[in-house]
A = this chain, B = another copy of it.
């Protein structure tokens, strides 16, 4: 469906403020402030200074909680966001509600206990964030995530993301896209909201899930699934530069995380 910017000049605004730079700035500010967030069930709570609150909003991490006390600004991180800020950006310390620091393995166990599919879901989240996509919950479209090319204030989300687990079908872990009607349902939703269905297949490659280092062994395969309309494709450019004309187009996961918007 392509990128749908919200209004005039938003594309150039986005271009002159690459998300990679915003996140680098956020990462450095967060580290310098010795930031810490407290685990609270399915989220982590974070009290932000005005500067950090601004950077959180610009980099699209967390959701601000409306509080009566306007002098304090609180943010809620999802499990994936919490783990990403802690393990990938190394910028956020995680503590329990008793203010004890949570180490890597404890955090990993906590995440898995709150969400059985956390390893795959996180790998998919990290894969997109590392490529500077802004990633939010995809619940309202029946997906796991949605991905934005830049800040949601500037652009509509471009992809509805469904995470699949490859390599262990026998245990029934692939719970989506098992039947055609399910795929058709996902495509219909995407079509009606002008988004593209992105299926991220996470292969655990038989790794032992007891420590977070297993994530390095996971691989991610990215497939875009689109309707194929015969009339549209019949006379298109045969050089291969025309519109995408395949039902499922595979894109190799070899993008560099440094390059902006490279998916």
- Chain A residues with CB under 8 Å of chain B are 138-144, 162, 172, 175-176, 178-189, 192-193
Report chain B residues within 8 Å CB of A172: 172
The 7 closest A-B pairs by CB, nearest first: A142-B185, A142-B184, A175-B178, A175-B179, A192-B192, A188-B189, A185-B185
Known: A189-B188, A189-B189. A143 touches B181 (CB 8 A): yes
Alpha-carbon separation in the docked complex, A179 to B142 (Å)? 10
Report chain B residues within 8 Å CB of A183: 142
Contact call A175/B185, Cβ cutoff below 8 A: no
> Separation in Å of the A174 CB from the closest CB of chain B?
10
| Closest chain B residue to A117, Cβ basis | B179
| Closest chain B residue to A192, Cβ basis | B192
| Closest chain B residue to A143, Cβ basis | B181
Residue among B162, B178, B188, B192 making CB contact with A181, cutoff 8 Å: B162
Sample (30) of A-B pairs whose CB atoms are under 8 Å apart = A138-B181, A139-B180, A139-B184, A140-B184, A140-B188, A141-B184, A141-B185, A141-B188, A142-B181, A142-B182, A142-B183, A142-B184, A142-B186, A142-B187, A142-B188, A142-B189, A143-B181, A143-B185, A162-B181, A172-B172, A175-B178, A176-B179, A176-B181, A176-B182, A182-B185, A185-B185, A185-B186, A185-B189, A189-B189, A192-B193
Report chain B residues within 8 Å CB of A141: 184-185, 188
| Closest chain B residue to A174, Cβ basis | B178
Report chain B residues within 8 Å CB of A139: 180-181, 184
Known: A162-B181, A176-B182, A182-B182. 14 other contacts (CB 8 A): A138-B181, A139-B184, A141-B184, A142-B181, A142-B184, A142-B187, A144-B181, A172-B172, A175-B179, A175-B182, A176-B181, A185-B189, A189-B189, A189-B192
Alpha-carbon separation in the docked complex, A176 to B175 (Å)? 8
